[in-house]
Amino acid sequence: MSEVDISFILTATPRLPGAAAVIASANELGIAITAGVETSDGMLTFALPDDGSLIVALMPAPHPDAPTMLGGPTSPPPEAVAKSRAHIIVTALGLPDDAWTRDTQMMLLTAAVIANVDAIAATFGVGLTFHAADAVAKIAAYCASEDELVPPELAIAVTAARESATRMSFLTHGMVRYGREEFLVTCPIQGKGARDFAFTMARWMLTDPDKQLPTGETVGRTADEKLRIQRVPNPTGKGPEVIRLDVP
């Protein structure tokens, strides 16, 4: 349980939440954090179950990477991100070993802080996309009430790249963390729906842990579409092979 989990919250004003308010919000989301203390250097520290700890630190300046980070289905518009004047770093130690459980708890802890500041957006998990604060809050509340795990839209990210003069690709990030393969979906630049298709495939594989996609077989978005399943090196040059699907 030594792994460190970090999330970032964009805020409109540079202030920390109240310790008691964070504890109350976390308890409402099913995590019994206690002992909120403000340190002399302006950080909040809390005790988590099973000897874990939570640190909430204010950075009184905009997040340096926020304006250039990827957009996604839950991202706020760029003009909202531009209004951020500070950001908060949330650090958790001692969360459960299981990746799904730890990422879900990190989402809930982040939401507990979001509930008590003028939050604009937050990022966690693979950390490539900022998600609108109200979306994180609603999803966290739903997951807590229904005992659900963090959904793929928050757990993974999808990046885009140009493949040629006429084609582009979408690559998932974060699937390997959950014991699944990443997807590389290529498509015409002028086409539509390929990014959503990448998310759909990711969601399918994550929610059905027994599902396998043998190389050479086909899948499709409709009964008539036949996209051949290929396995190719990860275009980032890191990690295991990815599943490639070429959308015509």
Position 40 pLDDT exceeds 70: no
Give 92-148 pLDDT, tens digit per residue.
999 999 999 999 999 999 999 999 999 999 998 778 899 999 999 999 999 999 999
DSSP state of 41: T
Query: What's the sign of the alpha-carbon dihedral 70, 75, 79, 81?
Result: negative
Give 133-182 pLDDT, tens digit per residue.
999 999 999 999 999 999 888 889 999 999 999 999 999 999 999 999 99
**For the chain, what percent of residues have pLDDT higher than 90?**
79
Could you give the 3-state DSSP secondary structure of residue 95?
Answer: coil
User: What's the start-to-end Cα distance of the chain, in Å?
Assistant: 45
Q: What confidence score (pLDDT) does residue 1 get? A: 43
Q: What confidence score (pLDDT) does residue 175 get? A: 94
Report field, pTM of the whole predicted structure over 0.75: yes
Q: What confidence score (pLDDT) does residue 229 get? A: 98
The tokens of 239 are what?
Answer: 């990690």
Q: What confidence score (pLDDT) does residue 142 get? A: 96
Is residue 96 within 8 A of residue 51, CB to CB? The reply is no
- What average pLDDT does the structure give for the chain? 92
Q: What confidence score (pLDDT) does residue 22 get? A: 95
Q: What confidence score (pLDDT) does residue 207 get? A: 87
Position 51 pLDDT exceeds 60: yes
**For the chain, what percent of residues have pLDDT higher than 70?**
99
Mean pLDDT of 44-55: 93
Instruction: Please tell me the distance from the alpha carbon of residue 161 to that of residue 237, in angstroms, as a whole number.
Output: 14
Position 36 pLDDT exceeds 80: no
